[in-house]
Amino acid sequence: MSMEGKVVLVTGAAGGIGKAAAKKFADAKAKVVICDVVEEAGKATAAELGADFYKVDVSDRKAVQAWVDDVIAKYGQIDVLVNNAGITRDARFVSVKDGQLVKQMDEAAFDLVIAINLKGSFNCAQAVAPQMIKQKSGSIINVSSVVGLYGNFGQTNYAATKAGVIGITKVLARELGRSGVRVNAVAPGFIMTEMTAKMPPEVLDGMKGKCPQGRLRNPEEVADVFYWLAGDESSYVNGATISVDGGLVLGT
């Protein structure tokens, strides 16, 4: 499968899954354009991969549109969008002790996660869609999570966004498919990134214990699925949500 010369946009690519995805496409000689709000790490990633870097807050529609417009002006096409940017702000929905409310998820934390994970995915997909329709080709890959499928304790906001991303994916697959644009979602399980590496060993062991394969996946294994969904080998895959979780949802 050749990606040479294809223009690939990856959001949230300063590290983790986004960086692994950008590297996968860059190694395949695609023209990779990444964005992130973390400027120093984003620039370092871009320099390492020979990619273009833009500092973009995906929740800011005007900033997203300016980024996409600049890419189109420079390259004349957009072939792939990996909607990867996302954050967590975990907290229990409510915590009650002796009949009294002790603590609850902060409204600001809910709004911020919605703005980045859900609205950000909407913004980026809507910004690239006209160009892809014009080309009569394109692949939009939305990054969801197994949490969006099955929920997770303390992640009301995150689960809502990742379930919402799946909903957006299904609608866009219907609306854009007739124009030659495919839209799919990937739902990773526990992934070994810089963030999870900082967790206590006992927490990591517990996460591994829930997976039939007995290990956490690495970002490159998720990037491999992005790469497949971007290419012609998956030409009849549209509106799907693919779990990359080592069988986590099956239990042990």
SS3 223: helix
Give the per-residue pLDDT at 221.
92
80-83 and 138-143: which strand pairing?
Answer: parallel
Catalytic residue numbers, as ranges: 158
Going residue by residue through the chain, which has 252 residues, state the pLDDT in tens, using 9 for 90 and above: 689 999 999 999 999 999 999 999 999 999 999 999 999 999 999 999 999 999 999 999 999 999 999 999 999 999 999 999 999 998 999 999 999 999 999 999 999 999 999 999 999 999 999 999 999 999 999 999 988 998 888 999 999 999 999 999 999 999 999 999 999 999 998 765 555 555 566 655 555 556 555 556 688 999 999 999 999 999 999 999 999 876 666 543
Encoded tokens for 108: 């600001």
Q: What is the CATH number of domain 7-250?
A: 3.40.50.720
pTM score = 0.91
| Residue located via tokens 């996968």 | 24
d(CA 66, CA 56): 9
Give the per-residue pLDDT at 192.
57
> What residue ranges do the domains of the chain occupy?
7-250
d(CA 7, CA 45): 17
Give the per-residue pLDDT at 218.
82
Give the per-residue pLDDT at 135.
98
